[in-house]
Structure 1
Amino acid sequence: MEDLVPAPVSERVQKRRDALRAAGLRPVQIWVPDTRRPGFAQECRRQSLVVAAADAADRDLEAFMDAAFADMDHEDDA
């Protein structure tokens, strides 16, 4: 019986990438914040408070949101 040696990982990866490209896809690298980094939660809170303060100062925002939600409710009726 002949020993079957699997293809090296690099060949299998390249074959998979080639198949994905042939299907019309392309690789994209996305960098996201490191949630494990010290200070991450504090910075999220700081930014959230800034946004909340801006929202509270915008007198037209509540009316806009109410209108948007009302419009969404009417789409459900259709």
Structure 2
Amino acid sequence: MKVLKLAAVIDGSGNLHLDIPTELPAGTVDVVIVLNPSIPDTPQIKPYDFSDLAGRLSWQGDSVVAQRMLRDEW
């Protein structure tokens, strides 16, 4: 068994063409291909951080009692 690692490019139609010279004799072989997308060289833009817009409610009293009062109004 021989393991080969190489960089390849997928063309616009989604096809991957491989031309790999080997030292193996002519005959039938099993081929296993693992495709792992390369990480681009350009830094990715981070999604917007909404943490500065989020806050906390300072609740005075029992929140369960207040919820039940609001529910009973219906």
The TM-score, its normalising length taken from structure 1, stands at: 0.24
Higher relative contact order (CA closer than 8 Å, sequence separation 6+):
2
